[in-house]
């Protein structure tokens, strides 16, 4: 039994005293203690060392007080496990020296045994669950197949992922073969995360909004749906798509427990497009955490009024920015706890 079960209740659509709150990327660079660990250990060492991943996961719980923890890791450990080299370059971000650009490249990509390649993640989950002592639920996650394809083809972050789109539209057979390999790996990976103890999972389709609504169905949603189907009856799934308001109808019919929305869609519109009853998560503009704490509190209360306190999970519309003052992050979480 989890002591603070607000998130799990909201995922079931049950009535709550107040909505739960957590922040995407809540275990990150805005926390001074995270920066201290970052000086000592490089990014993938932090991911691969269960003691460090546990310490970082629990940090925001102790210092900011959200209603759920999200395991410290990265969506790019999946392509790494598939035999695609991924580095995290300071000041640059993800860097893949040998991007996938042809059918031959796709054929070299492995669908691994996740217990051989990613056991460190499952160990970190078990250690984190012990450390959390059932105070709050633990969320596991994966990138959507499309978002992982974006990095594996582009080779780095991008404003428009032009090379990833070019690959899909010039070589759709190779693109679909790659998407299916990523999907198969992700399903095995998330099932093993559930077996290790996560209470819910979130799929991050961070770059779904780069696609037209029709291409979104073909190159992204179809594969997200396969993952949601594979997890049916195991744990609740939160499907987050940045810029994907146009797909909320299909998403609401998918079997996902909740849908994550960003700040470009009003609460009213998100409720309308998703049919009015499914749990929604979001959608505070991460840049709005630069506002003074008093204004953050007011805006958060307005956001809860707009979404309604039930079938709702307070969150940002995308990850927290690295230079947000800790007090402002705390004001965001406190505002929810003060909501009446």
* DSSP state string for 185-252: HHHHHHHHHHHHT-SEEEEEETTGGGS-HHHHIIIIIHHHHHHHHHTTTTS-EEEEETT-GGGHHHHH
User: Strand 93-95 relative to strand 87-89: parallel, antiparallel, unpaired?
Assistant: antiparallel
Q: Please, what is the minimum distance in Å from the beta carbon of residue 64 to ligand CP3? A: 11
State how far the alpha carbon of 315 is from the alpha carbons of 76, 263, 336, in Å.
22, 10, 10
Helix (H, G, I), strand (E, B) or coil at 268: helix
Helix (H, G, I), strand (E, B) or coil at 153: helix
Window 82-101: contact mask with ligand CP3 (x via CB under 6 A): ------x----xx-------
Q: Which is nearer to ligand CP3, 27 or 273 (CB)?
A: 27
The answer on whether 74 is annotated among ligand-binding residues is yes
Q: Any contact of residue 321 with ligand CP3 (CB under 6 A)?
A: no
DSSP state of 21: B
Q: Please, what is the minimum distance in Å from the beta carbon of residue 25 to ligand CP3? A: 4
Q: Any contact of residue 306 with ligand CP3 (CB under 6 A)?
A: no
The answer on whether 34 is annotated among ligand-binding residues is no
Q: Please, what is the minimum distance in Å from the beta carbon of residue 124 to ligand CP3? A: 11
Tell me, rounded to whole angstroms, the distance of Cα 316 from its chain centroid.
11
- Alpha-carbon distance of 101 to 84, in angstroms, equals 12
Q: Any contact of residue 141 with ligand CP3 (CB under 6 A)?
A: yes
Q: Please, what is the minimum distance in Å from the beta carbon of residue 144 to ligand CP3? A: 9
Q: Please, what is the minimum distance in Å from the beta carbon of residue 205 to ligand CP3? A: 9
Q: Binding segment for ligand CP3 among 21-29, 77-85, 176-184, 281-289 (CB under 6 A)?
A: 21-29
The answer on whether 25 is annotated among ligand-binding residues is yes
- Alpha-carbon distance of 307 to 158, in angstroms, equals 32
Q: Which residues bind ligand CP3 (CB under 6 A)?
A: 24-29, 38, 43, 70, 72-76, 88, 93-94, 141, 143, 157, 204, 206, 318-319
């Amino acid at each position: 039994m989890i002591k603070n079960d607000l998130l799990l209740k909201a995922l079931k659509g049950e009535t709550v005293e107040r909505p739960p709150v957590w922040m995407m990327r809540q275990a990150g660079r805005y926390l001074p203690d995270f920066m201290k660990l970052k000086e000592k250990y490089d990014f993938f060492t932090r991911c691969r060392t269960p003691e460090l991943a546990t310490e970082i996961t629990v940090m925001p719980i102790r210092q900011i007080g959200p209603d759920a923890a999200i395991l410290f890791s990265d969506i790019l450990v999946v392509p790494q496990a598939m035999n695609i080299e991924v580095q995290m370059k300071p000041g640059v971000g993800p860097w893949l020296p040998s991007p996938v650009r042809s059918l031959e490249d796709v054929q070299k990509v492995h669908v691994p045994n996740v217990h051989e390649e990613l056991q460190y993640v499952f160990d970190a989950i078990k250690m984190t669950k012990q450390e959390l002592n059932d105070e709050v639920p633990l969320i596991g996650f994966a990138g959507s197949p499309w978002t992982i394809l974006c990095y594996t083809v582009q080779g780095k972050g991008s404003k428009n992922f032009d090379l990833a789109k070019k690959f899909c539209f010039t070589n759709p057979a190779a693109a679909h073969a790659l998407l299916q390999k990523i999907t198969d790996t992700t399903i095995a990976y998330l099932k093993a995360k559930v077996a290790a103890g996560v209470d819910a999972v979130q799929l991050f389709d961070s770059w779904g909004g780069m696609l037209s609504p029709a291409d979104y169905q073909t190159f992204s949603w179809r594969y997200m749906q396969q993952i949601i189907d594979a997890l049916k009856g195991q744990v609740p799934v939160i499907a987050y798509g940045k810029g994907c308001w146009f797909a909320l109808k299909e998403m609401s019919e998918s079997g996902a427990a909740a849908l994550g929305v960003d700040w470009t869609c009003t609460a009213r519109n998100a409720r309308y497009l998703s049919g009015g009853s499914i749990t929604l998560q979001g959608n505070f503009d991460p840049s709005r955490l630069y506002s003074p704490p008093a204004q953050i509190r007011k805006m958060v209360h307005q956001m809860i009024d707009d979404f309604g306190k039930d079938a709702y999970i307070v969150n940002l519309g995308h990850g927290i920015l690295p230079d947000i003052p800790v007090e402002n992050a705390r004001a965001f979480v406190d505002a929810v706890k003060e909501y009446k």
